Amino acid sequence: MFDIGFSELMVIGVVALLVIGPERLPKVARTLGHLLGRAQRYVNDVKSDINREMQLDELKKLQAQVADSARSLEDSVRKEYDGARSAIESPVKEAVSQVETLSQTSSVVPAPADMPAKPLA
Protein backbone atom coordinates (compact mmCIF):
# COMPACT_ATOMS: atom_id res chain seq x y z
CA MET A 1 0.00 0.00 0.00
CA PHE A 2 2.68 2.53 1.01
CA ASP A 3 5.82 0.89 -0.47
CA ILE A 4 8.00 1.61 2.59
CA GLY A 5 11.32 -0.23 2.89
CA PHE A 6 13.09 -1.43 6.04
CA SER A 7 15.55 1.48 6.09
CA GLU A 8 12.72 4.00 5.89
CA LEU A 9 10.91 2.20 8.72
CA MET A 10 14.07 2.42 10.87
CA VAL A 11 14.31 6.17 10.25
CA ILE A 12 10.66 6.60 11.30
CA GLY A 13 11.31 4.53 14.46
CA VAL A 14 14.38 6.56 15.46
CA VAL A 15 12.55 9.86 14.88
CA ALA A 16 9.57 8.60 16.92
CA LEU A 17 11.92 7.52 19.74
CA LEU A 18 13.56 10.96 19.79
CA VAL A 19 10.30 12.94 19.56
CA ILE A 20 8.06 10.86 21.84
CA GLY A 21 10.66 9.49 24.23
CA PRO A 22 11.35 5.97 25.45
CA GLU A 23 8.74 6.08 28.26
CA ARG A 24 5.72 6.93 26.13
CA LEU A 25 6.76 5.15 22.91
CA PRO A 26 5.22 1.72 23.81
CA LYS A 27 1.89 3.33 24.76
CA VAL A 28 1.83 5.44 21.58
CA ALA A 29 2.73 2.40 19.45
CA ARG A 30 -0.06 0.37 21.09
CA THR A 31 -2.58 3.19 20.52
CA LEU A 32 -1.39 3.61 16.95
CA GLY A 33 -1.79 -0.16 16.39
CA HIS A 34 -5.37 -0.07 17.73
CA LEU A 35 -6.23 2.89 15.52
CA LEU A 36 -4.75 1.23 12.44
CA GLY A 37 -6.69 -1.96 13.25
CA ARG A 38 -9.91 0.01 13.52
CA ALA A 39 -9.18 1.76 10.23
CA GLN A 40 -8.55 -1.59 8.52
CA ARG A 41 -11.80 -3.03 9.91
CA TYR A 42 -13.68 0.06 8.77
CA VAL A 43 -12.21 -0.20 5.25
CA ASN A 44 -13.02 -3.92 5.13
CA ASP A 45 -16.60 -3.24 6.29
CA VAL A 46 -17.04 -0.60 3.59
CA LYS A 47 -15.64 -2.98 0.96
CA SER A 48 -17.98 -5.77 2.05
CA ASP A 49 -20.96 -3.38 2.01
CA ILE A 50 -20.08 -2.26 -1.50
CA ASN A 51 -19.68 -5.87 -2.65
CA ARG A 52 -23.02 -6.80 -1.07
CA GLU A 53 -24.75 -3.91 -2.84
CA MET A 54 -23.17 -4.87 -6.15
CA GLN A 55 -24.37 -8.45 -5.72
CA LEU A 56 -27.83 -7.16 -4.82
CA ASP A 57 -27.89 -5.04 -7.98
CA GLU A 58 -26.79 -8.04 -10.04
CA LEU A 59 -29.55 -10.13 -8.48
CA LYS A 60 -32.11 -7.44 -9.27
CA LYS A 61 -30.94 -7.35 -12.89
CA LEU A 62 -31.11 -11.14 -13.07
CA GLN A 63 -34.60 -11.10 -11.56
CA ALA A 64 -35.72 -8.54 -14.16
CA GLN A 65 -34.27 -10.68 -16.96
CA VAL A 66 -36.05 -13.77 -15.65
CA ALA A 67 -39.32 -11.85 -15.35
CA ASP A 68 -38.98 -10.59 -18.94
CA SER A 69 -38.27 -14.11 -20.18
CA ALA A 70 -41.28 -15.44 -18.27
CA ARG A 71 -43.51 -12.73 -19.75
CA SER A 72 -42.33 -13.44 -23.28
CA LEU A 73 -42.82 -17.17 -22.76
CA GLU A 74 -46.30 -16.55 -21.38
CA ASP A 75 -47.15 -14.36 -24.38
CA SER A 76 -45.96 -16.96 -26.87
CA VAL A 77 -47.86 -19.73 -25.08
CA ARG A 78 -50.97 -17.55 -24.99
CA LYS A 79 -50.68 -16.85 -28.75
CA GLU A 80 -50.29 -20.55 -29.51
CA TYR A 81 -53.23 -21.38 -27.25
CA ASP A 82 -55.44 -18.74 -28.88
CA GLY A 83 -54.44 -19.95 -32.35
CA ALA A 84 -55.23 -23.57 -31.48
CA ARG A 85 -58.47 -22.55 -29.81
CA SER A 86 -59.64 -20.57 -32.84
CA ALA A 87 -58.61 -23.43 -35.14
CA ILE A 88 -60.76 -25.81 -33.11
CA GLU A 89 -63.67 -23.45 -32.41
CA SER A 90 -64.40 -22.46 -36.00
CA PRO A 91 -65.04 -26.03 -37.26
CA VAL A 92 -67.04 -26.79 -34.11
CA LYS A 93 -69.18 -23.68 -34.62
CA GLU A 94 -69.76 -24.65 -38.24
CA ALA A 95 -70.76 -28.16 -37.19
CA VAL A 96 -73.11 -26.81 -34.52
CA SER A 97 -74.74 -24.42 -36.98
CA GLN A 98 -75.15 -27.23 -39.51
CA VAL A 99 -76.71 -29.47 -36.85
CA GLU A 100 -79.05 -26.66 -35.82
CA THR A 101 -80.14 -26.00 -39.39
CA LEU A 102 -80.65 -29.71 -39.95
CA SER A 103 -82.67 -30.02 -36.77
CA GLN A 104 -84.79 -27.00 -37.69
CA THR A 105 -85.49 -28.27 -41.18
CA SER A 106 -86.21 -31.81 -40.11
CA SER A 107 -88.17 -31.09 -36.92
CA VAL A 108 -91.26 -32.29 -38.68
CA VAL A 109 -90.92 -35.87 -39.83
CA PRO A 110 -93.04 -36.70 -42.84
CA ALA A 111 -95.62 -39.25 -41.84
CA PRO A 112 -96.47 -42.23 -43.90
CA ALA A 113 -99.35 -41.73 -46.28
CA ASP A 114 -101.91 -43.18 -43.88
CA MET A 115 -100.78 -41.14 -40.73
CA PRO A 116 -100.79 -37.36 -40.25
CA ALA A 117 -97.40 -35.62 -39.72
CA LYS A 118 -96.43 -34.66 -36.13
CA PRO A 119 -93.46 -32.81 -34.65
CA LEU A 120 -90.52 -34.73 -33.05
CA ALA A 121 -90.25 -32.72 -29.86
Burial of 65 (0-12, 13-18, 19+ CB in 10 A): exposed
**Per-residue pLDDT reduced to its tens digit, 40-81:** 999 999 999 999 999 999 999 999 999 999 999 999 999 999
Whole-number mean pLDDT of the chain? 86
Per-residue pLDDT band for 13 (boundaries 50, 70, 90) equals confident
pLDDT at residue 120, as a whole number: 64
Distance of alpha carbon 103 from alpha carbon 120, whole angstroms: 10
* Tens-digit pLDDT profile for residues 20-36: 888 999 999 999 999 99
List the chain domain ranges. Answer: 6-92
Percent of the residues in the chain that have a pLDDT greater than 90, as a whole number: 52
Closest CA to 110 of 119, 100, 102: 119
